[in-house]
Amino acid sequence: MAEEFDADLIEAARKTFAGPVAFLKSAPALQHLPEADVPEVAFAGRSNVGKSSLLNALTNRNGLARTSNTPGRTQELNFFDVGEPLRFRLVDMPGYGFAEAPKDIVKKWRFLVNDFLRGRSTLKRALVLIDSRHGIKPVDREVMDMLDAAAVSYRLVLTKADKIKASELAAVAERTAEEARKRPAAHPEIIATSSEKGLGIAELRAAVLEAVS
């Protein structure tokens, strides 16, 4: 299930995220992307999966990533610079899977994300967040399909692990990892996290640093 990271990598990652992290820009369309000059790690997940909370926990900053639960207001990629001098970027991808999202919004999301995944030479990895309580949903599989097709390496990350019992977490982690192992571009190990309790955050930092090193 959960992966063991080297202690030196964990410590290097802790130091990296204790240093400067700054919002760079929002890109509502591809022509607004920042120059592809440093490695990037993207975060994807259904809306309400806990993506903003996880980005804030990862970077030790409250309010760095903001949630917008209004469908149609979140169709943009948000870029965050990590390190001074700049070492890499985090990319907060627009949340997906709004039940009530209008068709044109879903279409716009698909084009934006697909074009980004296929065309971004500096994108090293995507982290696909999965709510521990729900496991992988069909809409998550669509995103995994897009990543597999674009050959972008990705890792599945369980969120809100504090919300379920340890036995349930072990079961959902096993099921999720089993599905990951069948995917060509997915990392076979998953990471279980709780932004609320700090669980798995050190490992997630290590996984990000590993991806851009």
Using CA atoms, how far residue 40 sits from 9, 78, 86, 200, in Å, is 18, 12, 11, 21
Integer Cα distance of 131 and 20 in angstroms: 29
The alpha helices in 60-200, defined as continuous H runs, are 103-119, 138-150, 166-181
75 in contact with ligand GDP (CB under 6 A): no
- The only residue of 94, 95, 97, 200 in contact with ligand GDP, by rule CB under 6 A: 95
**Per rule CB under 6 A, count of chain residues that contact ligand GDP:** 17
Cβ partners under 8 Å of residue 200, min gap 6: 2, 157, 158, 161, 191, 192, 193, 194
Q: Quote the least distance from Cβ 195 to ligand GDP, whole Å.
A: 4
Of the listed pieces 19-27, 143-151, 157-165, 183-191, which binds ligand GDP according to CB under 6 A? 157-165
Buried b (16+ CB within 10 A) or exposed e, 46-62: bbebbbbbbbbbbbeee
162 in contact with ligand GDP (CB under 6 A): yes
- The only residue of 194, 202, 204, 212 in contact with ligand GDP, by rule CB under 6 A: 194
59 in contact with ligand GDP (CB under 6 A): no
- Let me know if 204 is exposed, middle or buried by CB neighbors in 10 A (0-12, 13-18, 19+): buried
Which two tokens mark 78?
A: 């948000």
97 in contact with ligand GDP (CB under 6 A): no
Integer Cα distance of 161 and 148 in angstroms: 26
Integer Cα distance of 52 and 74 in angstroms: 12
Of the listed pieces 145-153, 168-176, 182-190, 193-201, which binds ligand GDP according to CB under 6 A? 193-201
Mask: binding to ligand GDP, 35-54, rule CB under 6 A, as x and -? Answer: ----------x-xxxxxxx-
160 in contact with ligand GDP (CB under 6 A): yes
Give the residue with the Cβ less far from ligand GDP, 87 or 196: 196
Q: Quote the least distance from Cβ 129 to ligand GDP, whole Å.
A: 7
Q: Quote the least distance from Cβ 128 to ligand GDP, whole Å.
A: 12
Q: Which residues bind ligand GDP (CB under 6 A)?
A: 45, 47-53, 67, 95, 159-160, 162-163, 194-196
